[in-house]
Amino acid sequence: MKFVLIGAGQRGMIYAKYAYKKGHEIAAVAETDPAKREIAASEFGIPAERCYETGAALLAAPCMGEAAIIATMDRDHYSEAIPAMEKGYHLLLEKPISPDPAETLAIEKAAERTGRQITVCHVLRYSPFFREIRRVIAEGRIGRVITIQHNENIGNFHIAHSFVRGNWRRSDLSSPLIMQKSCHDMDLLVWLTGSKCSSVASFGDLTYFRKENAPEGAALRCCDCPLKDGCRFSAYRSYLPLAGNWPATVLTDDQSEEGLLEAIRTGPYGRCVYHCDNNVCDHQVTILKFENGITATFNLSGFTNLMTRTMKIMGEDGEIRASEAENVIEVTRFAGNSTEKSESEIIRPEQSTSGHSGGDSGIVEDFLNMLEGRDSVSATEIHESVESHMMACAAEEARLTGSVVSLADFRRKIEGTTKA
């Protein structure tokens, strides 16, 4: 199978390396950063004539394979996905499909029109951890699900890295926080409830990472800051000890101490977290009602120590408490009274070394299965994935307008404005 890679950044390289390791060819690459383009070319043996500066340039050339991996930034997906399908490529498309709901629906329509398949990178559906939770529900171990409490614990250092200093700090440049971080969570809720969402309310704000919360005397950059030794957000503390690993690898390809120091001195990740140009929320709570009557609360917060998802799923006959970081799923059947011993089981799903608890390799496997005809359709195909994006956009509208948003009304409104 031949792939083309559009966007050879963190995500694109993960998927391309996996496909390459499985014996597939990465026939061409498009990447604006010359250093990253060169790394991809040498890693996959791509000849210079098939290395392009932009996705647009690659897509102007004749079709070079069966599928395209699109892993550029959020707002580029729309301009690449439709031409790529028109050229003949099936797509492994990074989420968000697009931050704009009208563009998301247009991409879905283009897939129907061109007969191309899109697998959206909702990697969590492929992780053994979430698959196990779904299996427990499907087996009826807690009876019918009544309500869900879901938490996306972003992690305090992670919010500072990605959503204050980093690529996803501004909704106008990338996506609102709930879309960027949590279209995955919306997708998990659709998958676990087995239902579409009917209405949503949401509250949240950018409360902490603002200039008025900067300690007195803090400089605009860590390298100039007299407080850096005592600050937990100091870039020196956040990145230097992690040389060679995420998130230090995001700063520069040169992971030597000198390389990282230079990136901290001059790049975006050396900025004071209280003095960035970020505008996305640092916390957001969302309440959802599903068509089958299940209710859910979703708490998305940067004020957590761990970077993990935790869930409580409450059913007629019992509850599931799940902690992704601890790799523990506890299934408890309700007791008859407070002294009776309740029946409880601890499940520890198999663990994978691939990212997102095994989801990163799982999604490429799923895509390959679909391309090679072992499965007729992917588990995160476009029609399934659009639902989560409508939920995230509707939640953002609910937050901005202080209203309860009906998903059916929201979708009708967007369909009225759908791009061709």
C-beta of 234 vs 354, nearer to ligand NAD: 354
Cα separation values, 329 from 132, 202, 261, 265, 342, Å: 8, 28, 41, 43, 16
Confirm or reject binding of residue 182 to ligand NAD (CB under 6 A). Answer: no
Provide the minimum distance between the beta carbon of 30 and ligand NAD in the complex, in angstroms, as a whole number. 4
Cβ-based neighbours of 171, under 8 Å, separated by 6 or more: 99, 177, 279, 280
The greatest distance separating any two alpha carbons of the chain, rounded to the nearest whole angstrom, comes to 73
Quick one: which of 145, 137, 78, 144 has its CA closest to 111?
A: 78
Confirm or reject binding of residue 397 to ligand NAD (CB under 6 A). Answer: no
**d(Cα 159, Cα 153) in Å, to the nearest integer?**
10
C-beta of 63 vs 73, nearer to ligand NAD: 73
Report cis status (omega within 30 of 0) of the bond before 101. Answer: no
C-beta of 12 vs 176, nearer to ligand NAD: 12
Segment near ligand NAD (CB under 6 A), from 31-39, 189-197, 233-241, 321-329?
A: 31-39
Let me know: does 324 contact 309? Beta carbons within 8 Å: yes
Provide the minimum distance between the beta carbon of 278 and ligand NAD in the complex, in angstroms, as a whole number. 16
Let me know: does 45 contact 36? Beta carbons within 8 Å: no
C-beta of 71 vs 311, nearer to ligand NAD: 71
Segment near ligand NAD (CB under 6 A), from 71-79, 133-141, 213-221, 311-319?
A: 71-79
C-beta of 74 vs 381, nearer to ligand NAD: 74
Q: Which two tokens stand for residue 103?
A: 């563009």
Provide the minimum distance between the beta carbon of 72 and ligand NAD in the complex, in angstroms, as a whole number. 4
Determine which residue in the list 18, 27, 76, 290 makes contact with ligand NAD, applying CB under 6 A: 76
Q: How many helices (H) and strands (E) does the chain have?
A: 15, 15
Q: Is the dihedral of CA 268, 43, 378, 60 positive or negative?
A: positive
Q: With the CA atoms of 380, 381, 386 and 391 taken in that order, what torsion angle do they form, in degrees rounded to the nearest 10? A: -20
Segment near ligand NAD (CB under 6 A), from 29-37, 84-92, 240-248, 260-268?
A: 29-37
Q: Which two tokens stand for residue 169?
A: 């700090």
Site string (45-64) toward ligand NAD, x via CB under 6 A: ---------xx---------
Return the H-helix or E-strand segment holding 289.
Answer: strand 283-290
Segment near ligand NAD (CB under 6 A), from 72-80, 84-92, 108-116, 326-334?
A: 72-80
Confirm or reject binding of residue 406 to ligand NAD (CB under 6 A). Answer: no
Return the H-helix or E-strand segment holding 414.
Answer: helix 407-415
Cβ-based neighbours of 122, under 8 Å, separated by 6 or more: 95, 183, 184, 187, 363, 380, 385, 388
Provide the minimum distance between the beta carbon of 305 and ligand NAD in the complex, in angstroms, as a whole number. 21
Determine which residue in the list 3, 4, 5, 7 makes contact with ligand NAD, applying CB under 6 A: 7
Helix axes 77-87, 101-114, angle to 10 degrees: 10
Determine which residue in the list 19, 69, 71, 329 makes contact with ligand NAD, applying CB under 6 A: 71
Confirm or reject binding of residue 322 to ligand NAD (CB under 6 A). Answer: no
Segment near ligand NAD (CB under 6 A), from 3-11, 134-142, 203-211, 336-344?
A: 3-11
Segment near ligand NAD (CB under 6 A), from 8-16, 224-232, 270-278, 396-404?
A: 8-16
Confirm or reject binding of residue 10 to ligand NAD (CB under 6 A). Answer: yes
Confirm or reject binding of residue 94 to ligand NAD (CB under 6 A). Answer: yes
Site string (329-368) toward ligand NAD, x via CB under 6 A: ---------------------------x------------
Provide the minimum distance between the beta carbon of 280 and ligand NAD in the complex, in angstroms, as a whole number. 12
**d(Cα 418, Cα 420) in Å, to the nearest integer?**
6
Q: Which residues bind ligand NAD (CB under 6 A)?
A: 6-12, 30-33, 36, 54-55, 71-74, 76, 94-95, 121, 123, 167, 180, 356
